[in-house]
C-alpha cells in the first residue's frame, strides 16, 4: 500500500516538476533574455542621444518598441540633468548646478509636436534612462505560486546614463 502511495506521489511530483518547475525556470531565463534585450535598447538610445546631443521622437519610439516587445507593461523614465554655471560671489569663482527634467517635459516636445522636432541637449548635460516592468513577468507569476508569495513586479530593471557631448563644432 505504501509502495502504491509512494509511486503515486512520485509520479505526481515528477509531473509537477517536469512541467511546472521546468516552465517556471525557463520563464525566468526568458526574463534574463528580455533584460538583455532591454539593456541593449536603452544603451543604444542613451549613447545615441549623448553623441548627437539630441533626443528625437524616432529614437524614443524605436527604444520603446524594443522594450515593449520584450515585456509590454514597462515604465520608461528619462532624466535630463541640464547643467548650468553661476558666479560665486563669495569665492570669486564659478559654481556648477543641474536642473532636472523628466519624460513629462521631454516627451510632449518630441512626440506631440507632429513635426520632426528634437529635444536638444548640450555638452555637460547628464542623461539617464531607467526602465522597469510594472507588472510581474510570467516567470515571477509562476514562481510566486511555487513560493506562495506575492510576485515581485520590478524584476526587469535597467538604468543607464552618461554625460552628453564629446566635441564641439563651430
* Min CB(150)–another protein separation in Å: 26
Least Å from the CB of residue 33 to another protein = 6
The correct pick among 101, 126, 132, 163 for binding another protein (CB under 8 A) is 101
- Backbone φ/ψ region at 55: left (φ over 0), alpha (ψ -120 to 50), beta: beta
| Residue 112: CB minimum distance to another protein, A | 13
Q: Which of 1, 94, 148, 150 binds another protein (CB under 8 A)?
A: 94
Taking the C-alpha atoms of residue 58 and residue 13, their distance in angstroms, rounded to an integer, is: 51
Q: Which stretch binds another protein (CB under 8 A): 16-24, 65-73, 131-139, 145-153?
A: 16-24
Q: Cα separation of 28 and 44, whole Å?
A: 24
**Which cell numbers hold the place of 84?**
548650468
Centre a 10 Å sphere on the Cβ of residue 124 and count the other Cβ atoms it contains.
Answer: 15
Task: Report yes or no: 52 and 167 within 8 Å, Cβ to Cβ.
Answer: no
Q: Which of residues 111-140 bind another protein (CB under 8 A)?
A: 119-123
167 contacts another protein (rule: CB under 8 A): yes
Q: Which residues pair with 77 in a beta bridge?
A: 130
Q: Which residues contact 93 (CB under 8 A, 6 or more apart)?
A: none
Binding site residues, another protein, CB under 8 A: 3, 6-7, 9-11, 13-14, 17-18, 21-22, 25-26, 29, 32-33, 36, 39-40, 43, 47-48, 51-53, 58, 80, 82-87, 94, 99, 101, 109, 119-123, 164-170
Amino acid at each position: 500500500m505504501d509502495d502504491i502511495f509512494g509511486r503515486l506521489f512520485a509520479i505526481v511530483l515528477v509531473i509537477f516538476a517536469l512541467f511546472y518547475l521546468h516552465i517556471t525556470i525557463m520563464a525566468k531565463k526568458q526574463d534574463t533574455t528580455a533584460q538583455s534585450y532591454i539593456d541593449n535598447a536603452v544603451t543604444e538610445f542613451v549613447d545615441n542621444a549623448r553623441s548627437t546631443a539630441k533626443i528625437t521622437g524616432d529614437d524614443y519610439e524605436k527604444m520603446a518598441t524594443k522594450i515593449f516587445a520584450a515585456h509590454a507593461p514597462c515604465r520608461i523614465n528619462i532624466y535630463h540633468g541640464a547643467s548650468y554655471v553661476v558666479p560665486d560671489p563669495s569665492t570669486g569663482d564659478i559654481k556648477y548646478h543641474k536642473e532636472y527634467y523628466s519624460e513629462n517635459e521631454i516627451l510632449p516636445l518630441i512626440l506631440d509636436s507632429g513635426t520632426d522636432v528634437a529635444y536638444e541637449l548640450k555638452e555637460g548635460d547628464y542623461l539617464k534612462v531607467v526602465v522597469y516592468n510594472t507588472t510581474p513577468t510570467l516567470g515571477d507569476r509562476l514562481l510566486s505560486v511555487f513560493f506562495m508569495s506575492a510576485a515581485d513586479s520590478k524584476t526587469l530593471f535597467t538604468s543607464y546614463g552618461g554625460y552628453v557631448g564629446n566635441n564641439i563644432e563651430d
